[in-house]
Amino acid sequence: MDSRCDVIVLGAGPAGLAAALRAVRSGASVTLVEASDAVGGLCRTFESDGCRYDMGGHIPFFRTDERVGWAEDVLGDDLIWVDRPVARVVGGAIRPGRYIDQHPGLVPDAIAPDGTAAGEFGATVGPAFRDRTMRRYLEKVDGWPLEVISADRAVKLRDEQRAPEGFWFPPGGIGSLMTAMEQAVRDEGGDVRLSTPMTSLHHRDGRVSAVEVGGANPGVIHADAIISAISPGLVVRAAAPSAPEGLLPPITMRAVALVYLIAEREAVTEEAWIQVDDPRVPFSRIAEFVNWDPGMVPAGRTVLCAEVYGSGADDDPWWSLDDDALARAAADALADPLGWVDDPSAFRALRVVRMPRAYPLVEAWRMREAMLAPTWLSSLDGLELARGGTVVTAIEAGESAADRAGGAVMAGAA
């Protein structure tokens, strides 16, 4: 079926939902297409065994009161204030504050930044703190030496993922904000099509004109503006006619296994989210949902999400384990070496979610190559890109893409 609207939005993660909401509220007719059968992208909340739990620990790092007010308005409910900063493990003990937050603020032996995470941390927290504290944690998460990880990654980790006092959180999980955004788009007349992947992007004479979609609602949708809130690589591959060659250098994707452990007992910790740099522990971060919103888990039970980062390759020591063995290894680590529980056999696997391509890693010296695809896409009139490394930066990217798309819609109407 062919159809027409002012703005097409590709992908219903936080960026796409925010873009669609902003565009529809500005008076545009909007079609939002999403490949999967539910909105939220990586920000989804699952429900099973009477418990609600998020796709990993998902702190929305709201940076302004306005954004908190915006979220409450969309939700039609108050956010919960979670009175806990991100915590970290030091010698088995849980301490408040991220590893990076322990820096005393003085950098007597600073070195010049050089585009790598090593250089960035060296310049801002000094080589001594970097090597004592940040190296172990970030190298465990990303699996590369700090000398290979890009400075951009270090900056985002340090500056965008800050919640030193605690954080505001949507009751019922991060997914509840996503479904509220979906509902708001529908209420304002937006057309949300789930199970509808974009399969091809039509462009001519440097301007986009339509997308072809498959799945549940196959057809061609024409529009004055298209907002892409999916990976630029996917859009470049879908370009018709084909994009110039050489825009897609090989990118390393980091794998994440989310191991959900459940036990019939009170909470193991008082924390929402804990960073763990000990290499003997399979997971690098662990979330305990009852400490985010007590309503997510029935009394007398607790659900933990251990985030196990890896290469996704067969020789990865944790990823290569089958789900049961990985869950056992995560539960055992709660007892030894962490010492948080006496009896790890009280924990069983509620679910294991594997994301073999959870996020891209770009070597510091290849950042320019990684920008080729977004740069070419941005050169197409009528196409706006919206992506973010966190929930809130994704929402903000979606909104600004919708504002920019407004110009193309006005031009189309003129």
Ligand X SMILES: Cc1cc2nc3c(=O)[nH]c(=O)nc-3n(C[C@H](O)[C@H](O)[C@H](O)COP(=O)(O)OP(=O)(O)OC[C@H]3O[C@@H](n4cnc5c(N)ncnc54)[C@H](O)[C@@H]3O)c2cc1C
Exposed/middle/buried for 29, CB within 10 Å: 0-12, 13-18, 19+? middle
Beta carbon of residue 4, minimum distance to ligand X (angstroms, whole number): 19
Residue numbers 178-207 binding ligand X by CB under 6 A: 197-198
189 phi/psi in degrees, rounded to 5: 95, 5
Nearest to 178 by CA among 376, 341, 16, 342: 16
What is the nearest approach in angstroms of ligand X to the Cβ of residue 355? 6
85 is a site residue for ligand X (CB under 6 A): no
Instruction: Answer yes or no: are the C-beta atoms of 172 and 45 closer than 8 Å.
Output: yes
Contact between 35 and ligand X by CB under 6 A: the answer reads yes
Q: What are phi and psi of 159, to 5 degrees?
A: -100, -35
* Closest separation in Å from C-beta 216 to ligand X: 12
Q: Which of 97, 56, 95, 62 is nearest to 259 (CA)?
A: 56
Cα–Cα separations (whole angstroms), residue 117 to 114, 150, 285, 369, 370: 8, 5, 20, 18, 17
The answer to whether 374 contacts ligand X (rule: CB under 6 A) is: no
Distance CA 75, CA 183 (A): 9
Residue 207 identity (one-letter amino acid): R
In the list 24, 43, 362, 383, the residue contacting ligand X (rule: CB under 6 A) is 43
Beta-strand (E) ranges in 67-181? 80-82, 87-90, 93-96, 167-169
Integer Rg of the chain from CA: 22
At its nearest, how many Å lie between ligand X and the CB of residue 214?
9
Binding status of residue 15 toward ligand X by CB under 6 A: yes
- Phi, psi at 234, each rounded to 5°: -65, -40
Segment 225-254, which members bind ligand X (CB under 6 A)? Answer: 229-230, 234
Q: Which of 7, 10, 24, 141 binds ligand X (CB under 6 A)?
A: 10
For position 36 contacting ligand X by CB under 6 A, the verdict is yes
Q: How far is the CB of 163 from ligand X (least distance, A)?
A: 9
Interface with ligand X, residue 387, by CB under 6 A? yes
3-class SS at 305? strand
How far apart CA 72 and CA 184 sit, in angstroms, is 12
- Quick check: 59 binds ligand X (CB under 6 A)? yes
Residue carrying structure tokens 């794998």: 255
The footprint of ligand X on this chain (CB under 6 A) covers a number of residues equal to 35
Is 34 an interacting residue with respect to ligand X (CB under 6 A)?
yes
Our finding on whether 14 is near ligand X (CB under 6 A) is: yes
**Facing residues of 203 across strands?**
208
Asked whether position 344 contacts ligand X by CB under 6 A, the answer is: no
Least distance to ligand X, CB of residue 219, Å? 14
State in angstroms the smallest separation of the CB of 405 from ligand X. Answer: 16
| Binding to ligand X in span 136-155, by CB under 6 A | none
Span interacting with ligand X, options 22-30, 58-66, 144-152, 244-252, rule CB under 6 A: 58-66
Nearer to ligand X, 42 or 370 (CB): 42
Alpha-carbon gap, residue 410 to 191, rounded angstroms: 20
Binding ligand X by CB under 6 A: which of 143, 310, 344, 388?
A: 388
Q: Please report how close the Cβ of residue 106 comes to ligand X at its closest, in angstroms.
A: 29
| Footprint on this chain of ligand X (rule: CB under 6 A) | 10-16, 33-36, 41-43, 56-61, 197-198, 229-230, 234, 256, 307, 358, 387-392, 394
